[in-house]
Amino acid sequence: MPITKHNYLKILRQQYGPYITNNVFYYGKTLFKISKIKCDLSFLKSCKREKVLPTFVQFKVPSTHLSHQRAIQNCFREILINEIKVKKRQLTECYRIYNNLKSLLDSDLHKKISDEISIIINEIDKGKVTSVTERHITKLNKLRELKNFSEDIKHSSTTISPIKNYSKRVLTRDETLALENGLDFIFPSLKFDDETFIANIETLFVNLLGYCSEKTDYDELDLDERISYNLTPEQLCLATKLRKSCDTFRQHARKSISRYKKEIDPIVKTLKNLSKDKTIYITRPDKVRAVVILERSDYLTKMELILNEPKTFKQLDEDPTIQKEDKLQRKLLHLKNIGFLTDSEYKFTRPVGSQPGKAYGLPKIHKDGVPLRPIISACGTFNYKLSKLLANKLKHLRTSPTIVIDTFKFVKELQNLKLNTTNIKMVSFDIVSLFTRVPLARTIDLILDKMYGPIHTCSFSELKRTDWCSKCQHRYELKWLLDISTKDSHFIFNEKLYCQTEGVAMGSPLGPLFADIYINYLESKLKRRLDENGVLYWKRFVDDCFVLVNDNADINKLLGILNSFDVDIQFTVETEKNNSISFLDILITRTNFNVNETDLNTLPIELLHSFLRITKERLSIVSVEKYEQLLNLLRLQYPRNKLNNQKSSLLLPFLYPSPIALVSSSCILLTSIQKTDETSTNYQKHPNVDEHIILSEHATIVVQLLHRYLLAYRDSQPIDQINFGMTQLNYLQQEISSLIYKPNFTEVICYAFDNVISETSLEISPDYFTSLRKILKLNRVQEILLVFALHDSIHVKFQALARGHLLNCLREFFQTISNTYESNLFSTSIYRKPTFTGLLLKWNSYVPHSYKVSAISSMIYRAIKICSSYSSMHIEFEYIQNLALKKKNDYPLKFVQNQIKKTLNRHFEGLNKISNETLTKPDELDNKEMKKEQVFIDLPFIGIETKMLGKKIIDLAKYIRPDLHIQPIPRPPPAITTFFPQKDKINKNAQSNIVYSISCSDCDVGYI
């Protein structure tokens, strides 16, 4: 018998015994190890030479240490160098063992047999070296691609500077570095507020245990009176543990302050020096995240020019706050007494310690001349809480089918429209200065008519108001409240008092309500004329209108109709450009997209592109081979020579990928997915595998249930009558979806199917897969994966049926994608203004980790909900990734990729989730779990220690008060914006919520 690589060990054992056979085995194993180490050394030296870092040398760094990037990179590089040294020592040791075994074999074996064994072992070694080398080349290409990608991002300049300096002052380098982080940036705090922290902990203690003494802190006490506390041993233990945890937390806070003091002190001094310069005014712009520096004189001139408009504002000589507050207090008390207001509403709206509003301006850097948008902060004014109450009680009056409730619902509605896009055009109307132009008297009358109907004769009669009907009385009282909430609102700017005589103040809770109600009235009056002149679809969000009109409609005539209704409400118009127009944060594009074709050859390229993206993400979890099978099927339909236009070229990276394209940024989600299929066996290669091994290693219960289903199918038993039992059926339905994503899925499914088909000569009909999908409750992706697995069946007919069903699945899935993510009329994507600076919450900002997660995941979720195609979604993901990795924001690449993956997973899980609440009775839901009372506690943020203290407090509270839900709130230090206040300071004598100290004129004692 000739010696081959399959039997050489068996022959040696028969002729030379186990000792020499073992020496041959270890000789080959050592040679393989030497070759492997040589390949590893070559790979590691290439990484060192090209300055790329393999993943095994990198470890997760806490967010608090990410500012030390140079030290971290040096540490990674040292690990790589040490690994090279270790490999060299291993190679030396392996050579020593190899030479000893080689000499033993030369002395124990015949030279001819020894040469044959060496040739066989060298052939095996050559194959292993080839496999390892290819794997190393793939890894090295990925690392090169990621390195080039990161460098391209850091050196790209797709965004503009976040600092807009319109002043005469030239910023120094230190000032620029301090401001370029943005006004929302937060540095570590340099002081710890002990008083506030202790007060918060004591308040929590009272919420947990109640008052433990007979007297409260504000009760009058004798000088020598001692307070006795009534605490149980358990409560004393809780107090001791709580105090110990808080003392530890305070020590960590002091260490944090000393650690950051040297680094933060110079920056704080720079910011303080900037804030002391009274010739400049530093603020944030309107609708953009940036830092704007204006000449203070220019800022004051522009604001006073706005406030000196006699029709809208007038200057006051005296502060009317106290008189208006007193007047409102008396009125509210009267309304409570007559039952118009409840006790809780009276307590909420009763003003105490009111202040005038504060006006400031936000520069519009996207417009020429940088005009200002006047904002009036109404917080703390005498009518602010009353306005909030009225806005909440009257919000149902602003509902209208033309109002955009939120962006996501608007996009969904837009994609469901049934119009002919070739005969329409898109127009955008904008209302000029809507809030300050809303006619208050007419809007209040509209509100009253909606609430109580047309005005009654009671108000015109000679009857006393107490004798009016209830509707007229309520109408009068509501009108009085609306008048005092909106008319003659006074505010302070530059130490001068003003009063707004027209419109609603920007900042009042009633502003959006009044604007919507009046514009709804305008739209209802003009609707017939607008429809007659070509308006097909009208949507509005406050002062921005998105309109679809006939392509032959006269836009100027429509604008004239809108501007003819009210001289104060004037519209401007913008038409589409290149079939696109922006509305809110959406870029809307008209398409002539149609997906009614049923032939796979004529399916739209965009759908194939979208399908390949999502399927690649799903199938690569199971097996790269499965994805390649899909590509082979589609390559038959789309040869390379047919993919030559702009649209079809989208498929090139998928159907005919280059090695670099396989690890490009288009595979964002795949970078974090481990390819676990490398160690899995192929069922086709091992058809004689033991049944016991299959059933023990590969999901026994699932395979047995599949056996039962197939046997029932063989006996022509109807699907509905298969006696699975509810427990077994539910188990199968739940486990099949998780089994699909396991690396051994192909072997399990093929074994279950092929075994039954071979034993029973079962004939499978074309509708078999459809019935299987129904009983297993598979979604589209799971069904496609199942059919892919059955391509490995040993039965040729079964393979053909699986392939035919796959093509049907693709057609149906394309239709699903087109109906869900592609509009027949419009494609939508994210729109950003040209002034967008790209400034996000920076990674090294001293805020809780959840803030940074929200900053990225919110953009990702917005892209998922707004982008109408997977291609535009992918482009937006790449943009978000580039934006986050830029030097200004400094987010780690893995963090951004993980957020993309997690947000996508949550989205798809939400689409496929079957709610159990529909199967549960309402009473069962109500009694399932009683809602716990929530108790919030503010904790100063000093890093991970804040999270640890929060967990300790929750654990302590669970022990003593399990009926409460404690919610710690990490409170970061103040942001940079606190150095540059935008509003006027209120004199201390006019402030409320402060502590006064009054000194005695006869002695040194003070009263607090």
In a domain, 972, yes or no: no
pLDDT level of residue 692 (50, 70, 90 thresholds): very low
Residue 507 within any structural domain of the chain: yes
**DSSP helix/strand/coil, 440:** helix
Same structural domain for residues 361 and 475?
yes
End position of a domain, from candidates 115, 140, 155: 155
Q: Rounded to an integer, what distance in angstroms lies between the CA atom of residue 355 and that of residue 691?
A: 83
* pLDDT mean across residues, the chain: 77
pLDDT digits (tens, 9 = 90+) for 404-420: 988 999 998 888 887 77
Please check whether residue 496 is in contact with residue 376, taking contact to mean a CB–CB distance below 8 angstroms. no
The pLDDT-based confidence of 560 (bands split at 50, 70, 90) is very high
- Report d(CA 81, CA 84) in Å as an integer: 5
**Residue 611's pLDDT band (cuts 50, 70, 90):** low
The boundaries of the domain holding residue 85 are 8-155
pLDDT at 913: 56
pLDDT at 211 over 80: no
Res 262: pLDDT? 87
User: Would you place residue 589 in the very low, low, confident or very high pLDDT band (cuts 50, 70, 90)?
Assistant: confident
pLDDT range class, residue 656, cuts 50, 70, 90: low
637 pLDDT above the threshold of 80: no
- Note whether residue 896 is domain-resident: yes
CA distance 619 to 617: 6
User: Model pTM greater than 0.75?
Assistant: no
Between the alpha carbon of residue 967 and those of residues 723, 933, 946, the distances in Å are 49, 10, 13
Q: What is the pLDDT at residue 446?
A: 92
The token pair at 9 is: 């060990």
Provide mean pLDDT across the span 272-287: 90
Across 370-392, average pLDDT: 90
Same domain membership, residue 624 and residue 746: yes
CA distance 306 to 480: 28
Instruction: Convert the pLDDT of each residue in 904-942 to its tens digit.
Output: 888 877 765 544 444 344 444 444 445 778 889 999 999
**Per residue in 434-443, pLDDT tens?**
888 889 889 9
Identify whether 998 is part of a domain.
Answer: no
Question: Of 111, 140, 155, which closes a domain?
Answer: 155
Q: Is the pLDDT score of 636 beyond 90?
A: no
Cβ neighbours of 833 (radius 10 Å): 12
Out of 367-371, 582-586, 661-665, which region has the weakest mean confidence (pLDDT)? Answer: 661-665
Query: What is the model's pLDDT at position 218?
Result: 55
Does the pLDDT at position 825 exceed 60?
Answer: yes
Say if residue 775 is in the same domain as residue 848: no
Query: What SS3 state is found at 42?
Result: helix
- Answer whether residue 553 shows pLDDT above 50: yes
* CA 503/CA 125 separation, integer angstroms: 85
Torsion of CA 487, 493, 498, 501, to 10 degrees: -40
Confidence of residue 670 (pLDDT cuts 50, 70, 90): very low
Q: Which residues contact 917 (CB under 8 A, 6 or more apart)?
A: 925
pLDDT (tens digit per residue) in 886-902: 767 888 888 888 888 88
887 and 793 share one domain: no
> C-alpha 915: how far from its chain's center?
23
Q: What is the residue-wise DSSP string for 953-997?
A: HHHHHHHH-TTEEEEEEEEPPP-GGGGS--SPPPPGGG--S----
613 and 514, same structural domain? no
Kindly state whether residue 979 falls inside one of the protein's structural domains. Answer: no
CA dihedral 984, 987, 988, 993 (to 10 degrees): -50
Domain assignment of residue 950, yes or no: no
CA distance 738 to 778: 11
pLDDT > 90? residue 142: no
- The tens digit of pLDDT for each residue in 474-515 reads 888 999 999 998 887 889 998 899 998 888 877 788 989 999
Does a structural domain hold residue 388? yes
The string of pLDDT tens digits covering residues 45-77 is 988 888 888 888 888 777 566 667 778 888 988
Which of 104, 122, 155 is the last residue in one of the domains? 155
Which range is least confidently modeled, 143-147, 627-631, 953-957?
627-631
Q: Is the pLDDT of residue 875 over 50?
A: yes
In a domain, 996, yes or no: no
Three-state secondary structure readout of 594-639: CCCCCCHHHCCHHHHHHHHHHHHHHHHHHCHHHHHHHHHHHHHHCC
**Is residue 629 located within the same domain as residue 526?**
no
Is residue 682 domain-shared with residue 804, that is, in the same domain?
Answer: yes
| Same domain flag for 534 and 651 | no
Between residues 728 and 298, which one has the greater pLDDT?
298
982-1006 confidence digits (pLDDT tens): 888 877 766 776 777 777 877 877 7
pLDDT for res 642: 61
Does 529 share its domain with 414? yes
Closest CA to 151 of 882, 888, 894: 882
CA distance 310 to 304: 12
Over 70: is that where the pLDDT of 880 sits? yes
In percent, the amount of the chain with pLDDT more than 90 equals 25
Distance from C-alpha of 487 to C-alpha of 501, rounded to nearest angstrom = 6
- End-to-end Cα distance, the chain: 108
Q: Which helix (H) or strand (E) holds 826?
A: strand 826-830
450 and 390 within one domain: yes
Residues 6+ apart with CB under 8 A from 865: 407, 408, 411
Same domain for 456 and 516: yes
Average pLDDT for 627-641: 62
Instruction: Give 697 or 466, the one with higher predicted confidence.
Output: 466
CA distances from residue 82 to 41, 76, 94, 136 in whole angstroms, order as listed? 12, 10, 18, 19
Tell me, yes or no, whether 818 and 850 share the same domain: no
What pLDDT is attached to residue 125? 86
For the ranges 117-131, 385-399, 787-801, which has the lowest average pLDDT? 787-801
Contact 282, 296 (CB under 8 A): no
Q: Please state the length of the chain.
A: 1008
| The token pair that represents 817 in the structure block | 């994608």
Total count of domains within the chain: 4
For 690-727, b/e burial (b = at least 16 CB within 10 A) is eeeebbeebbeebbebbbbbbebbbeeeeeeebebeee
d(CA 148, CA 87): 28
User: For 413-555, where are the E strands, in sequence order?
Assistant: 424-431, 489-493, 496-500, 535-541, 544-550
Alpha-carbon span 152 to 584, nearest angstrom = 31
- Higher-confidence residue: 989 or 198? 198
The CA distance from 412 to 825, in Å, is 12
3-state secondary structure of 566: coil
Q: How many CA atoms lie within 13 A of 12 on its CB side?
A: 22
Q: Provide the pLDDT for residue 487.
A: 84
Q: Which of 49-53, 89-93, 206-210, 311-315 has the highest mean pLDDT?
A: 89-93
Does residue 689 have a pLDDT over 50?
no
Tokens 């409570």 label which residue?
A: 336
Q: Is residue 11 predicted with pLDDT exceeding 80?
A: no
In single-letter form, the type of residue at position 403 comes to I
| Residue that the structure tokens 């055009």 belong to | 425
